[in-house]
Amino acid sequence: MATIAATRPLVELSNVRHHYGKGHGQMLVLDDVDLTLNENEIVGLLGRSGSGKSTLLRSIAGLLRPDEGQVRFVPGEDGREPSVSMVFQTFALFPWLTVLQNVELGLEAQRVPPEQRRTRALAAIDLIGLDGFEDAYPKELSGGMRQRVGLARAMVVDPALLLMDEPFSALDVLTAETLRTDLLDLWCEGRMPIKSILIVTHNIEEAVLMCDRILVFSSNPGRVAAEIKVDLPQPRDRLDPAFRALVDDIYARMTARAPAVQVNDGLFPGTGIAMVLPVVSTNALAGLIEEVDGAPFNGRASMADLADQLQLEIDELFPMAETLQLMRFADLSGAEIALTPAARRYAAADVDARKAQFAQALLAHVPLAQHIRRILDERPSHVAPARRFRDELEDHMSPDYAAATLSAVTHSGRYAEIFAYHEDADQFSLDDPS
């Protein structure tokens, strides 16, 4: 879309910081975020789960007040501040209200008279294509139709800015695609009164398909890592080389190390035993190694192709790739993943040999696993309560992350048979299970 139209700013965020939790286990969720949203553009906020993008969205929506920093709404020509509306991932429809009543909800809150309310709501329902379903209840509708109702409800209050929180991720691929194209049609034809859209997503292709500007959000803590302008004309073609090049570029940026962050191994925050690790299935890791090892990749694959081939979201692929890098089974560079010789041996080995290799890698490169094994070896009874390790971890991270990290290492450790874990007694031991 040509950028001839005026681009006045609508919302300006400056130095926004927000913490999650209180006291000792406080996590920095947003760190010095600066952001401007202008008129006549669709902006995408792209990042992994837990990167704070939902928090940022809710700060703009006014549902949350950030601890520090400023969220400023720039008054328009008529002197009024722009209004904001939101579409939810889970649709958030009231089950006991009909479609018409759901759409009228915002107007009702604004004390709009009943006749006007009804007219406007019917017009909005017509616009998104649910004519005839006004008296239906949400439980009678499919997922795509429910999201259309959510969209109508958000649009009927004539907001200047539309916020969308992963609006299509709860839908199946075909329905999501239909809704995306319908939304883009409405936008391009100017049939919506909305001046700007901010869409939060973890789907890189969706972002490139829809947005004029993409802000890549890094996690832990969240901040804007990169800003990418998308100049491709609408309608965009997924198979267009320029499109694919952009997707590759974004993958690369998301795996690149932010220079300011000081990490020892891989891309995990924290060092030593305080490394925050994601819970990843050992089966999935083995599968990924086998996939990259086999044809057509033969040990080297671009992340975008791999995601495409395996139908994986970045939230699923990245933790696996990073774990492999941590254990020196792979190298991540640019937008590519390359298997090390150790990984290629792993792919060719049988179950026992694989376990042995995995155990070796785990003890060599994952400090927490090393630590647990050492403590168990030192104690005469070879038994240690898990509580002890969890407490140690909680000195460096929040209780939720501590539990998740310990879970991840427990899972890998059990697979590698370097220790055993008993859930009843909540303890680690060197014995074989009784």
Partner 1 sequence: MLRLTAPNRVDAIAFVLLTGFAMLVFRGAEGIAEPLSRLRIEPVMLDPLYLPYYALRTTLRMFAALLASLVFTLVVATLAARSWRAGQIILPALDILQSVPILGFLTFTVTFFMGLFPGRILGVELAAVFAIFTSQAWNMAFSFYQSLRSVPSDLDEVSRGFGLSPVRRFLRLDLPFATPALVWNMMMSMSGGWFFVVASEAITVGNTTVTLPGIGSWLALAIGQRDFAAIGWAVGAMAVVILLYDQLVFRPVVAWADRFRFEQTASTERPRSWAYDLFRRTRLLPLLFAPVIGLGRLLLMLDPGGGHRRTTKERPASRIGELAWQALLAAAVIFAAWTIIGFVMRSLNWGDALAVLGLGCLTMLRVLVLIALASLIWVPIGVWIGLRPKWAERLQPVAQFLAAFPANVLFPFAVIAIVHWRLSPGVWLSPLMILGTQWYILFNVIAGASAIPTDLREAAGMFGVKGWQWWRQVALPGIFPYYVTGALTASGGSWNASIVAEAVSWGHEKLEASGLGAFIAKATAAGDYPRVALGIAVMSLFVIAFNRLLWRPLYAFAERRLRLS
Q: Which residues would be at the binding site for partner 1 (CB under 8 A)? A: 58, 61-65, 84-86, 88-92, 94-97, 105-106, 108-111, 137-140, 157
- Residue 227 · residue 237 · CB < 8 Å: no
Q: 11: alpha, beta or left, given left = phi > 0 and alpha = psi -120 to 50?
A: beta
State the distance between the two ends of the chain, measured CA to CA, in whole angstroms.
67
Residue 97 or 226: the one with the smaller Cβ distance to partner 1 is 97
Residue whose C-alpha is closest to residue 148's, from 164, 121, 166, 130: 130
Give the position of tokens 């239909």: 178
Shortest Å distance, C-beta 111 to partner 1: 4
Single-letter residue type at 413 = G
Count Cβ atoms within 10 A of the Cβ of residue 434 and give its class: 0-12 exposed, 13-18 middle, 19 or more buried. Answer: exposed
Residue 170 or 286: the one with the smaller Cβ distance to partner 1 is 170
Shortest Å distance, C-beta 313 to partner 1: 21
Residue 165 or 322: the one with the smaller Cβ distance to partner 1 is 165
Shortest Å distance, C-beta 143 to partner 1: 9
Shortest Å distance, C-beta 178 to partner 1: 20
Residue whose C-alpha is closest to residue 198's, from 149, 222, 165, 236: 165
Residue 92 or 256: the one with the smaller Cβ distance to partner 1 is 92
Residue 4 or 109: the one with the smaller Cβ distance to partner 1 is 109
Shortest Å distance, C-beta 110 to partner 1: 4
3-class SS of residue 3: coil
- Residue 217 · residue 52 · CB < 8 Å: yes
Question: Can you give the length of the chain in residues?
Answer: 434
Residue 106 or 270: the one with the smaller Cβ distance to partner 1 is 106
How many helical (H) and strand (E) elements, i.e. helices and strands, does the chain have?
A: 15, 15
Other beta carbons within 10 Å of 424: 5
Shortest Å distance, C-beta 83 to partner 1: 9
Q: Which residues make Cβ contacts (< 8 Å) with residue 136, sequence separation at least 6? A: 98, 99
Shortest Å distance, C-beta 417 to partner 1: 26
Residue 27 or 225: the one with the smaller Cβ distance to partner 1 is 27
